[in-house]
């Protein structure tokens, strides 16, 4: 199997995953992950993405050990191919942090989130901004699971500020709304109802605007 075959399988797996056909998606990602990439393939090798996608399939299925293995393989590949501090590495770091947060391994979740922060502090693209917001959100959720609301609020405030800068570029509207909604709930717990209500109103506007945009695009076809 060649690199082009792996790319096709990865794309097909993404389509199946989006359709909720998890078994078919897993089959595609597993087959794509069997490709042996050579140095001559260059840094554009899709193996990091393939293994992350495989990890997400296992993650969604609750097969956490297999998800961790796929993510760790992705991390090793990315570190070897791109370097320890390349932005590509942060995708897998964020995935591992989320997995560990969900499974109660909070110290490890924080470790991977902090490593992602260190790489993304000097952000230069919308992709890096999005990765930074996701890292902030993941660590905030980790803190919330430990009842560390004040620390989570600080992270969510920063995530909201960054996500609002370039809506549609930094993050999709749905993810911006999720960050703001989570932040609103935390503010309520911290007895700041006025700011919480303001954020709730902003969330409603974002979701209404997103729905209107989707409707307009559909009607134009």
Q: What percent of the chain has pLDDT over 70?
A: 88
User: Per-residue pLDDT for 42 more than 80?
Assistant: no
Q: Are 56 and 77 in contact (CB under 8 A)?
A: no
- Say yes or no to pLDDT of 216 above 50: no
pLDDT of 146 reads 97
Confidence of residue 4 (pLDDT cuts 50, 70, 90): confident
Burial class (CB in 10 A: 0-12, 13-18, 19+), 215: exposed
The dihedrals phi and psi of 127, each to the nearest 5 degrees, come to -60, -45
pLDDT of residue 58: 97
Give the pLDDT band of residue 68 (cuts 50, 70, 90).
very high
Look at 44 and 80; give whichever has higher pLDDT. 80
Contact 13, 47 (CB under 8 A): no
What one-character-per-residue DSSP string does 45-96 give? -SHHHHHHHHHHHHHHTT-HHHHHHHHHHHHHHHHHHH-TT-HHHHHHHHHH
Q: Which segment of 60-74, 75-89, 92-106 scores lowest on mean pLDDT?
A: 75-89
> Each residue of 153-172: pLDDT tens digit?
999 999 999 888 866 666 78
What is the pLDDT at residue 171? 75
Residue 145 burial by CB count (10 A; 0-12/13-18/19+): exposed, middle or buried? middle
The candidate with the shortest Cα–Cα distance to 48, out of 12, 93, 8, is: 93
For domain 1-72, give the CATH number. Answer: 1.25.40.10
Name the residue ranges covered by the structural domains of the chain: 1-72
Which of 12-16, 38-42, 178-182 is predicted least confidently? 38-42
Mean pLDDT of the chain, nearest integer = 88
């Amino acid at each position: 199997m060649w690199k082009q075959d792996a790319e096709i399988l990865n794309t097909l797996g993404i389509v199946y995953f989006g359709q909720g056909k998890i078994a078919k998606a897993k089959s595609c990602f597993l087959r794509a992950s069997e490709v042996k990439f050579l140095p001559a393939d260059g840094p554009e090798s899709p193996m990091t993405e393939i293994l992350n996608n495989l990890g997400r399939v296992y993650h969604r299925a609750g097969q956490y050990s297999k998800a961790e293995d796929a993510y760790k393989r992705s991390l090793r590949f990315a570190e070897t191919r791109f370097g320890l501090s390349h932005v590509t590495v942060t995708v897998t770091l964020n995935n591992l942090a989320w997995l560990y947060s969900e499974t109660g391994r909070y110290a490890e979740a924080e470790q991977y989130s902090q490593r992602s922060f260190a790489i993304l502090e000097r952000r230069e693209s919308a992709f890096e901004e999005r990765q930074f917001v996701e890292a902030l959100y993941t660590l905030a959720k980790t803190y919330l699971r430990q009842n560390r609301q004040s620390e989570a609020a600080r992270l969510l405030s920063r995530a909201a500020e960054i996500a609002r800068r370039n809506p549609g570029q930094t993050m999709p509207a749905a993810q911006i709304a999720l960050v703001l909604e989570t932040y609103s709930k935390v503010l309520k717990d911290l007895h700041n109802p006025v700011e919480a209500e303001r954020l709730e109103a902003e969330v409603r506007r974002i979701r209404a605007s997103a729905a209107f945009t989707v409707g307009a695009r559909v009607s134009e076809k």
